[in-house]
Amino acid sequence: MSQLSEEERQKIINSSPIGTWVLMLTVSLGMVAAWLFLYYGVFLPRGAIG
């Protein structure tokens, strides 16, 4: 059962969702880094196809 007061609850609800931002940033950077690694670190060094 939540021990938060109504005031604390409202404060959390109205504040910026830091945890979500961190999660979004982590996932985004991870995905971009993985894609760039596969493209520039694996695909192109194996010899581009044309």
Partner 1 sequence: MNTDPLKKKWANAIQSIADLSKGDPIHVDPLEKRWAYVILAIAGLFVAIIMIDALVHNINPPSHVETIDSARLHLSKEFAEDNLGVQVDDNGNVTVRIVAGRYGFYPKQVTVPSGTPLKFRWVSMDVLHGIHLPMTNMNTMILPGYVAELKTDFPKPGNYPLLCNEYCGMGHDHMWGSITVVAKEHWSAPVKIASKGDSNHE
List residues binding partner 1 (CB under 8 A). Answer: 17, 20, 24, 28, 31-32, 35, 39, 43-50
CB of 32 to partner 1, least distance (A): 6
4: Cβ contacts below 8 Å, ≥ 6 apart: 12
SS3 labels along 1-50: CCCCCHHHHHHHHHCCCHHHHHHHHHHHHHHHHHHHHHHHHHHHHHCCCC
- Beta carbon of residue 25, minimum distance to partner 1 (angstroms, whole number): 9
Q: Which is nearer to partner 1, 1 or 50 (CB)?
A: 50
Find the shortest distance in angstroms from Cβ 6 to partner 1. 23
